[in-house]
DNA sequence: TTGATTTATTGGAACGTTCCATTTATAGAG
DNA sequence: CTCTATAAATGGAACGTTCCAATAAATCAA
């Protein structure tokens, strides 16, 4: 059934008694072939255990059918959700996306990008690693490979971005906290080299300012965007002379870390210290207490990114419009009112 | 700087005033080239914005440098951890593994496998989807592509397997529960078409038998291997006339679901109903209460699988030995003693 | 100097496809 | 029948590499 060496279309041609061109046409589902011939060829294909060599085909064809997804942290369930959304739309387009993980490492990212390019990808959806240098995507650009950024963006690049409305999300979250009576607020996690960070922090700051929180009452603690980072942030904050009573976290992972650290100190998240996350990963709903978080419709953004990509490939362009997804605050149980404020019977302006 | 059409080694050759063969040699880092020539060529490569065409190269070379990882559920953090372990070793071998998700769908898996083969992968590490047909990997076999199964295996295939000692893990977990005084035990989640399920259930059953649990006191509830599946299992179990007091779950996701469902019913996981998970994902430690689980050294298994793969490629074989990883039970807070047993002061034989 | 040896470099065939331009077969019109 | 139009199948030249065999240049032994 299977021959020693790899079978090629010539082997099939011989087996079926037709020319290689005919086999090629059948492979491409061309309507030019007489149905009976096609059947004969397909049988031969089956018989010799043929596997199509896409590399050889791409040598002649303009476009490959490979799309790469380059993700900065696969262990964050958030990105897995994003990937799932993308896969949904690529699947229906007959494309198998290849996922590669950069583990938040720009050097690794460089390798991944290089490898994907060499493979002849038709397009790339990327959530760039922290500390990506501005030139990292120049090669892609000059090669004319369509790229879209998902969730994260680079300081000043012309590459289209699909991301949630970070500013508004953070504003909503901070306003919620302030509405609950909190007057000393913190922003936990993330680092300023991330544009997303700037955006989220910006929304947070704007809320504080317009809703009358004094500048000296807001605390910013940078940190890793992981559970561990969250733990560290809380430690830092509680070591202050006048610690905050509530925090907006850069993302849910950080929020989980903060809740963990609170528990370890015998404090109850929600009651003793309010915490809000960002991204609303599925775990958020299931945590104890359930985490209030900014929902960004992750899978939807993934789908959107995939659609944009498909359109770019189709129209052979490397440009597209940005897309900012709507967000909304999902209120759960992780932020009670400010304990200290209550007994004083403070009224709130807004 | 960048030319219109894609640059090839011939363009470089012209630019550097050498032959294409020389360029090829430089690209491969051959020592046959005079250093000054190599420098000249490398400069030309930079100047024309060349990107290597691996497809063309693979047409001539025996082996590609692509390794695929086919995973049945990327949203399960367990598999992300596995992937991370593999990536560690591939990276140091200068290989970028491509990850593809099958979402537990055999049809999708078929497509993914086909696509990866067409791409000319050097090898495949696969955690097969549930319901994979026995013939699904025949093509790979006849094509001589090395494949290793990670975590899961197929009923009777000769493909090497890297997996934890499921039987022993389940035995340990069940024994722990019995040691705590529980006499009515359940096994939650998973379906019998999974070999892993058979193994884990087997270990569970053996423990029950040798440690004196009556057959009518053990309850098996099949279900999805997800949080949702866990919720369903618990509902089913508690609807019984004489419900179990403790459960070993097929994996941590199921266990999380069970804990969730308990809470929803006003029961406290650990105190009112004991639950043990399997896999020991990072979340297990951080749950409330922290989940007792069978630790399988996920990343370690990933590394092992990658090593086996590398060795298979190197020795151009398609066979390798199975590797069963050691497991151990990590006891945390999710299983207290049987409430009902205590007052009666029952002693235990073993 | 000559021939042999080593060191650098090179042309050309091959790899497995696609696709254009042809050829061959089939049918329809007169 | 022949002529034309249509349908079906085909040969051959690319595509961008690698690698073998061959050449050219430099070095060495005598």
Over residues B195-209, the pLDDT tens digits come to 999 999 999 999 999
Asked if residue A313 has pLDDT above 90, the reply is: yes
Q: Do A99 and B97 make contact, defined as CB atoms within 8 angstroms?
A: no
Chain segment A199-244, per-residue pLDDT in tens: 999 999 999 999 999 999 999 999 999 999 999 999 999 999 999 9
Judge if the beta carbon of B20 is closer than 7 A to nucleic acid strand C: yes
Q: What percentage of chain A has pLDDT greater than the value 70?
A: 96
pLDDT in tens, A122-170: 999 999 999 999 899 999 998 999 999 999 999 989 999 999 999 999 9
Q: DSSP string spanning A263-310?
A: HHTTPPBTTTBEEEEEE--HHHHHSSSPPEEEE--HHHHHHHHHHHHH
Q: What is the rounded average pLDDT for all residues in chain A? A: 93
Across all strands, nucleotide nearest A25 (CA–C1'): C18
User: With a CB-CB cutoff of 8 Å, which residues 122-141 of chain A face chain B?
Assistant: 139
The residue ranges of DSSP E strands in chain B, in sequence order, are 67-71, 97-101, 123-126, 147-150, 161-164, 185-188, 218-221, 246-249, 274-279, 292-295, 323-325, 328-330
Residue B49, sorted as left (phi over 0), alpha (psi -120 to 50) or beta, turns out to be left
pLDDT of residue A4: 56
The answer to whether the A67-163+298-324 and A166-297+330-344 domains have the same CATH topology is yes
Query: Greatest CA span in chain A, whole angstroms?
Result: 93
Asked whether the beta carbons of residue B227 and residue A58 sit closer than 8 angstroms, the reply is no
Burial grade of A166 (CB within 10 A; 0-12, 13-18, 19 or more): buried
pLDDT bracket for residue B96 (50, 70, 90): confident
B94: number of Cβ within 10 Å: 9
Mean pLDDT, residues A64-92: 92
CATH topology of domain B67-164+298-325: Rossmann fold (3.40.50)
Asked whether the beta carbons of A283 and A253 are under 8 A apart, the reply is no
Residue B66 CA to its chain's centroid (Å): 19
Residue A245, pLDDT > 70, answer: yes
Residue A22 Cβ < 7 Å to strand D? yes
Sequence ranges of the domains in chain A? 9-52, 67-163+298-324, 166-297+330-344
At residue B1, the pLDDT reads: 41
CA distance B211 to A41: 62
- How many Cα neighbours within 13 Å face the side chain of A235? 11
Task: Identify the pLDDT of residue A339.
Answer: 79
Given CB atoms, is A120 within the 8 Å cutoff of chain B?
A: yes
Q: Lowest mean pLDDT of A90-99, A257-266, B37-46, name the range.
A: A90-99
Q: Which residues pair with B273 in a beta bridge?
A: B269
- Domain at A67-163+298-324, CATH from 1.20.200.10, 1.10.357.140, 3.40.1160.10, 3.40.50.2300: 3.40.50.2300
Q: Determine the 3-state secondary structure of A97 from DSSP.
A: strand
- Mean pLDDT of the region B82-92: 92
- d(CA A308, CA A315) in angstroms, rounded, equals 11
In this model, does residue A3 exceed pLDDT 50?
Answer: no
pLDDT in tens, B243-284: 999 999 999 999 999 999 999 999 999 999 999 999 999 999
Give B331 or A62, the one with higher predicted confidence. B331
Is some CB atom of chain B closer than 8 A to the CB atom of A107? no
Q: Which single residue has its CA nearest the C1' atom of nucleotide D20? A: B21
Q: Thinking of the domain A9-52, which architecture would CATH place it in?
A: Orthogonal Bundle (1.10)
pLDDT tens-digit readout, A333-349: 999 998 765 444 444 44
* Nearest residue to B163 via CA among B133, B202, B126: B126
How far, in Å, CA of A126 to CA of A186, rounded?
Answer: 30
**Beta strand pairing call for A97-101 and A147-150:** unpaired
Which residues numbered 233-272 in A keep a CB inside 8 Å of some CB on B?
256, 260, 263
The proportion of chain B whose per-residue pLDDT surpasses 90, expressed as a percent, equals 86
Dist CA B348 CA B350 (whole Å): 6
Would the pLDDT of B4 be above 60?
A: no
Assigned CATH for B166-297+330-344: 3.40.50.2300
């Amino acid at each position: 059934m299977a021959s020693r060496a790899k079978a090629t279309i010539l082997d099939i041609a011989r087996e079926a008694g037709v020319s290689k061109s005919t086999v090629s046409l059948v492979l491409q589902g061309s309507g030019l072939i007489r149905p009976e011939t096609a059947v004969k060829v397909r049988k031969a294909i089956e018989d010799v255990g043929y596997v199509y060599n896409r590399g050889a085909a791409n040598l002649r064809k303009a476009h490959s059918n490979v799309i790469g997804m380059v993700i900065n942290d696969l262990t964050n369930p958030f990105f897995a959700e994003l990937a799932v959304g993308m896969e949904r739309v690529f699947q229906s387009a007959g494309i198998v996306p290849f996922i590669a993980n950069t583990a938040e490492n720009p050097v690794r990212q460089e390798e991944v990008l290089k490898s994907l390019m060499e493979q002849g990808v038709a397009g790339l959806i990327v959530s760039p690693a922290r500390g990506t240098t501005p030139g990292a995507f120049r090669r892609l650009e000059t090669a004319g490979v369509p790229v879209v950024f998902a969730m994260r963006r680079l300081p000043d690049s012309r590459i289209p971005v699909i991301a949630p409305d970070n500013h508004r999300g953070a504003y909503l979250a901070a306003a919620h906290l302030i509405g609950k009576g909190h007057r000393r607020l913190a922003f936990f996690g993330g680092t300023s080299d991330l544009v997303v960070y700037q955006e989220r922090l910006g929304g947070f700051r704007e809320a504080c300012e317009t809703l009358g929180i004094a500048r000296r009452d807001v605390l910013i603690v940078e940190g890793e965007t992981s559970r561990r980072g969250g733990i560290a942030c809380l430690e830092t904050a509680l070591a202050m002379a006048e610690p905050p009573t509530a925090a907006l976290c850069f993302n849910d992972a950080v929020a989980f870390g903060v809740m963990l650290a609170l528990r370890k100190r015998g404090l109850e998240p929600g009651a003793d210290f309010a915490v809000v996350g960002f991204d609303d990963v599925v775990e958020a709903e299931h945590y104890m207490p359930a985490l209030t978080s900014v929902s960004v419709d992750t899978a939807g953004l993934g789908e959107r990114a995939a659609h944009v990509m498909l359109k770019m490939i189709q129209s052979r362009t490397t440009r597209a419009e940005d897309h900012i997804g709507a967000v909304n605050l999902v209120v759960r149980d992780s932020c009670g009112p400010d304990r200290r404020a209550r007994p004083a019977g403070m009224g709130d302006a807004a």
